[in-house]
């Protein structure tokens, strides 16, 4: 692996004071006049918060937008599943919040591995997001006086989280979706549901279109445009089990990577501490229990290994409230990565609970005693009901069983301050890019980022690019680059279908997931990472020799879709392991066992790794090349996180 900095990675962060950067930048960005806007076609891939908000905003401005989603409706994008809330620096509760504080918390939460200017802009536009959503009719929680309610989330010291019962993501997405459908009605957006982007089309080094599979007919379709916006979400499903929806995938970003877009910090994954544990091999995905539960639930395991007594029969003195013990000041509210890792440790010690031994208790008995059942019911009623639906256990009486699960990927395609990837004309928004969360994402900030990118950043920065390309030649779908992309895609599909091996796609995905979870998960080390890279290579070879895909290409065929995605996961999984191996430090969600203090806390290496690792594809038979973007902290000083 070679590290080089050949000037490709120009983050294009504008000069000036942190507070003024974005405004100055906007003043300097070129505009496209209204008559010219309608000459441009923008392809928006994905209709989650990032995609829907971008598609709607661009169409409102007058661009022609084509929007693609794998699902049958844009409203079903994975953003819909977010429960907790969205941050903004409104300071409505008057508890001292400011744009600076939101910025600072986010950058600190990210363990100083994100770009100052991006994060500051995010905090700056956060307030406009709330205004925009309320204007769209998003029914945020309100107080009796009729004003918006806020809560504290993810251990923040101020109440800056706006929420809509346990369905914040749904309500925000429905807001963006409705703005989008309004433009569908006016004809400015053309919708392409049940389409999966399978390749990017580049002409003269610029993104000029894509090919997508029509998931109902199997046809490969060509779409040309003046820019492509990737808003395809995160790739947590590399781990097989995660809290991501089943159709979340890495294919679009991975195909773009293979066309030359660099991949930033692929190994940065967030593992959420409070999910419902796995119950058996048939398990297809994991369900998140909102983090807000940690405000009133106490996490514990038995002190003794193999203590099989039912939880209510284990007396106080035989319980280990390990978070409270290890982190007296934050206790059960210790950050996500810290809580997750601690749970893993106690389970590794054999003190895990439940049938599989892979769970810890989250106990509400004390809170129920203190506040009464009704108060707990009012706060968490729907979460408790959901838990009971899934596990058939009543958390009012028996402590919940929880376990960490993959939840979010901070890594993603590398983008500059304008959200442009290393391929001109290819923009990356939302969870699909690597930008704003550094090594670890704070609760309630992904929704904020997705909407910031789509509503308030890309409409400006894209116009700059399009203005520059006003006179470039229009490309039609009959261009040879399309034919080539289509042909390669068809070949890949036919090759997969012709393997006719013995193992199902699920078998392979499970195997890959296990490798990733065990060795590229909460805790990583050199030896395992080296081993896992080899194993994944082997698994990938086996996949192409022995996978069994049913049916044909020319109809709806979900296992074929799935196989194409798993094929990409195997390559991405390897890159994640490589990146984890290369980053010789512990930061945020990336914990390298070699880099910890005596009592097991993460040790960052700001000397050598205060940077972004950005990987460039060089060919299937070559190792990827790492580029480095140095992170310069001009306005904040990185400190070692401590939650003791």
Ligand X SMILES: Cc1cc2nc3c(=O)[nH]c(=O)nc-3n(C[C@H](O)[C@H](O)[C@H](O)COP(=O)(O)OP(=O)(O)OC[C@H]3O[C@@H](n4cnc5c(N)ncnc54)[C@H](O)[C@@H]3O)c2cc1C
Of residues 57-86, those binding another protein (CB under 8 A): 57, 60, 71-76, 78, 80-81
If binding is defined by CB under 6 A, does position 314 make contact with ligand X?
no
Q: Which residue has the tokens 């997405």?
A: 173
Rounded to an integer, what distance in angstroms lies between the CA atom of residue 195 and that of residue 46?
A: 10
If binding is defined by CB under 6 A, does position 119 make contact with ligand X?
no
Sites for ligand X among residues 239-278 (CB under 6 A):
243-244, 248-249, 251-252
Classify residue 506 by burial, with Cβ atoms within 10 Å: 0-12, 13-18, 19+. middle
**Closest distance to another protein from the beta carbon of 441 (Å):** 20
If binding is defined by CB under 6 A, does position 412 make contact with ligand X?
no
**Closest distance to ligand X from the beta carbon of 620 (Å):** 20
Q: DSSP class of residue 300? A: E
SS3 3: strand
Residue 446 contact, options ligand X, another protein, none, Cβ 5-8 Å cut-off depending on partner type: ligand X
Q: Which residue has the tokens 């010789």?
A: 584
Given the complex with ligand X, which of 32 and 238 has the nearer CB atom? 238
Stretch 64-103: interaction string toward ligand X, x if CB under 6 A:
----xxxx-----xxx-xxxxxx-----------------
Rounded to an integer, what distance in angstroms lies between the CA atom of residue 370 and that of residue 389?
A: 26
Rounded to an integer, what distance in angstroms lies between the CA atom of residue 576 and that of residue 568?
A: 12
Considering only 392, 480, 622, 642, the residue that binds another protein (CB under 8 A) is: 392
Is residue 352 within 8 A of residue 359, CB to CB? The reply is yes
Considering only 12, 303, 309, 355, the residue that binds another protein (CB under 8 A) is: 355
Given the complex with another protein, which of 39 and 503 has the nearer CB atom? 503
Rounded to an integer, what distance in angstroms lies between the CA atom of residue 568 and that of residue 585?
A: 27
**Closest distance to another protein from the beta carbon of 604 (Å):** 35
Residue 57 contact, options another protein, ligand X, none, Cβ 5-8 Å cut-off depending on partner type: another protein
Given the complex with another protein, which of 89 and 475 has the nearer CB atom? 89
Stretch binding another protein (CB under 8 A), from 2-10, 257-265, 276-284, 591-599: 276-284
Strands (E), 56-98: 64-68, 86-87
Question: Which one, of 614, 300, 292, lies nearest residue 433 by Cα?
Answer: 614
Sites for another protein among residues 202-261 (CB under 8 A):
216, 245-247
C-alpha angle 79-82-85 in degrees, rounded to nearest 5: 120
Considering only 483, 506, 531, 636, the residue that binds another protein (CB under 8 A) is: 506
Stretch 294-323: interaction string toward another protein, x if CB under 8 A:
------------------------------
**Closest distance to ligand X from the beta carbon of 567 (Å):** 13
**Closest distance to another protein from the beta carbon of 515 (Å):** 20
Given the complex with another protein, which of 112 and 162 has the nearer CB atom? 162
Which residue number is nearest to ligand X in terms of Cβ?
Answer: 48
φ and ψ at residue 532, rounded to 5 degrees: -70, -30
Is residue 193 within 8 A of residue 71, CB to CB? The reply is yes
Residue 60 contact, options ligand X, another protein, none, Cβ 5-8 Å cut-off depending on partner type: another protein
Considering only 201, 432, 452, 575, the residue that binds ligand X (CB under 6 A) is: 432
Sites for ligand X among residues 142-201 (CB under 6 A):
168-169, 195-197
**Closest distance to another protein from the beta carbon of 45 (Å):** 17
If binding is defined by CB under 6 A, does position 450 make contact with ligand X?
yes
Residue 389 contact, options another protein, ligand X, none, Cβ 5-8 Å cut-off depending on partner type: another protein
Rounded to an integer, what distance in angstroms lies between the CA atom of residue 402 and that of residue 298?
A: 11
If binding is defined by CB under 8 A, does position 34 make contact with another protein?
no
C-alpha torsion angle, residues 57, 59, 64, 70 (rounded to 10):
70
Stretch binding ligand X (CB under 6 A), from 337-345, 424-432, 514-522, 532-540: 424-432
Q: Are strands 3-4 and 625-630 parallel, antiparallel or unpaired?
A: parallel
Rounded to an integer, what distance in angstroms lies between the CA atom of residue 165 and that of residue 151?
A: 11
Residues in contact with 79: Cβ distance below 8 Å, sequence separation at least 6, in sequence order: 48, 49, 50, 169, 172, 173, 233, 447, 450
C-alpha angle 410-416-417 in degrees, rounded to nearest 5: 100
If binding is defined by CB under 8 A, does position 159 make contact with another protein?
no
**Closest distance to another protein from the beta carbon of 505 (Å):** 8
Considering only 19, 36, 167, 553, the residue that binds another protein (CB under 8 A) is: 167
Question: Which one, of 561, 565, 566, lies nearest residue 215 by Cα?
Answer: 561
- Tokens found for residue 339: 């809580």
Stretch 124-153: interaction string toward another protein, x if CB under 8 A:
----x-xxxxxxxx-xxxxxxxxxx-----
Residue 174 contact, options ligand X, another protein, none, Cβ 5-8 Å cut-off depending on partner type: another protein
Residue 145 contact, options another protein, ligand X, none, Cβ 5-8 Å cut-off depending on partner type: another protein
Residue 132 contact, options another protein, ligand X, none, Cβ 5-8 Å cut-off depending on partner type: another protein
Residue 559 contact, options ligand X, another protein, none, Cβ 5-8 Å cut-off depending on partner type: another protein
Q: How many CB atoms lie within 10 A of CB 606?
A: 16
Write a three-state SS string for 391-435. HCCCCCCCCEEEEEEEEEECCEECCCCCCECCCCCEEECHHHECC
Q: How many residues bind another protein (CB under 8 A)?
A: 80
Stretch binding another protein (CB under 8 A), from 1-9, 225-233, 306-314, 386-394: 386-394
Considering only 444, 458, 493, 516, the residue that binds ligand X (CB under 6 A) is: 444
Question: Which one, of 487, 475, 61, lies nearest residue 228 by Cα?
Answer: 475
Rounded to an integer, what distance in angstroms lies between the CA atom of residue 596 and that of residue 141?
A: 42
Given the complex with ligand X, which of 251 and 418 has the nearer CB atom? 251
Question: Which one, of 455, 458, 449, 576, lies nearest residue 79 by Cα?
Answer: 449
Rounded to an integer, what distance in angstroms lies between the CA atom of residue 55 and that of residue 49?
A: 10
Is residue 65 within 8 A of residue 57, CB to CB? The reply is no
φ and ψ at residue 199, rounded to 5 degrees: -165, 155
If binding is defined by CB under 8 A, does position 195 make contact with another protein?
no
- Rule CB under 6 A: which residues touch ligand X? 45-51, 68-71, 77-79, 81-86, 168-169, 195-197, 231-234, 243-244, 248-249, 251-252, 288, 407-408, 430-432, 444-447, 450
């Amino acid at each position: 692996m070679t590290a080089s900095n050949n000037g490709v990675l120009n983050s294009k962060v504008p000069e000036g004071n942190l507070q003024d950067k974005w405004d100055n930048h906007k003043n300097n960005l070129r505009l496209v006049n209204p008559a010219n806007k309608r000459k441009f076609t923008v392809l928006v891939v994905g209709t989650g918060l990032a995609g829907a908000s971008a598609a709607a905003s661009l169409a409102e401005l007058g661009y022609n937008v084509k929007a693609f989603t794998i699902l049958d409706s844009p409203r079903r994008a994975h953003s819909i599943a977010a429960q907790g809330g969205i941050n903004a620096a409104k300071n409505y509760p008057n508890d001292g919040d400011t744009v600076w504080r939101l910025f600072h918390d986010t950058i600190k939460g990210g363990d100083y591995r994100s770009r100052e200017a991006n994060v500051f802009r995010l905090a700056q536009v956060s307030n406009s997001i709330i205004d925009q959503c309320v204007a769209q009719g998003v029914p945020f929680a309100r107080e009796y006086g009729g004003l918006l309610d806020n809560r504290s989330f993810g251990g923040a010291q101020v109440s800056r989280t706006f929420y809509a019962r346990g369905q914040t993501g749904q309500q925000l997405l429905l807001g963006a979706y409705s703005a989008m459908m309004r433009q569908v009605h006016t004809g400015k957006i053309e919708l392409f549901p049940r389409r999966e982007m399978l390749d990017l089309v580049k002409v003269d080094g610029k993104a000029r279109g894509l090919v997508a599979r029509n998931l109902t007919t199997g046809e490969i379709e060509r779409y040309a445009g003046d820019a492509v916006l990737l808003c395809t979400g995160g790739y947590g499903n590399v781990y097989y089990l995660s809290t991501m929806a089943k159709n979340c995938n890495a294919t679009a970003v991975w195909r773009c990577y293979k066309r030359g877009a660099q991949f930033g910090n692929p190994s940065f994954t967030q593992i959420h501490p409070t999910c419902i544990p796995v119950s058996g091999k048939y398990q297809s995905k994991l369900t998140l229990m909102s983090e807000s539960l940690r405000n009133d639930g106490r996490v514990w395991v038995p002190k003794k290994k193999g203590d099989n007594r039912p939880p209510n029969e284990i007396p106080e003195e035989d319980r280990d409230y390990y978070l409270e013990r290890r982190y007296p000041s934050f206790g059960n509210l210790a950050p996500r990565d810290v809580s997750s890792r601690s749970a893993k440790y106690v389970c590794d010690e054999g003190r895990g609970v439940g049938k599989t031994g892979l769970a810890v208790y989250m106990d509400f008995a004390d809170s129920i005693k203190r506040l009464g059942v009704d108060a707990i019911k009012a706060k968490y009623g729907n979460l408790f009901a959901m838990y009971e639906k899934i596990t058939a256990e009543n958390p009012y009486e028996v402590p919940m069983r929880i376990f960490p699960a993959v939840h979010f990927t901070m890594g993603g395609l590398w983008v500059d301050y304008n959200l442009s990837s290393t391929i001109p004309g290819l923009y990356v928004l939302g969870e699909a890019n690597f930008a704003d969360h550094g090594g670890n994402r704070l609760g309630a900030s992904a929704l904020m980022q997705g909407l910031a990118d789509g509503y308030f950043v890309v409409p400006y920065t894209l116009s700059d690019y399009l203005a520059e390309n006003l006179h470039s030649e229009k490309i039609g779908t009959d261009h040879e680059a399309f034919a080539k992309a289509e042909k390669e895609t068809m070949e890949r599909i036919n090759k997969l279908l012709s393997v006719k091996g013995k193992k199902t796609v699920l078998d392979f995905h499970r195997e890959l997931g296990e490798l990733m979870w065990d060795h590229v998960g909460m805790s990583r080390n050199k030896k395992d990472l080296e081993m896992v890279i080899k194993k994944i290579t082997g698994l990938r070879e086996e996949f192409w020799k022995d996978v069994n895909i049913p049916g044909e290409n020319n109809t709806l065929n979900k296992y074929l879709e799935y196989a194409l995605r798993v094929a990409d996961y195997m390559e991405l999984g390897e890159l994640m392991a490589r990146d984890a191996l290369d980053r010789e430090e512990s930061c945020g969600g990336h914990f390298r066992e070699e880099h910890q203090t005596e009592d097991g806390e993460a040790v960052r290496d700001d000397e050598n790794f205060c940077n972004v690792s950005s990987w460039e594809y060089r060919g299937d038979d070559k190792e990827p090349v790492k580029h480095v973007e140095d992170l310069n902290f001009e306005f904040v000083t990185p400190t070692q996180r401590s939650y003791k």
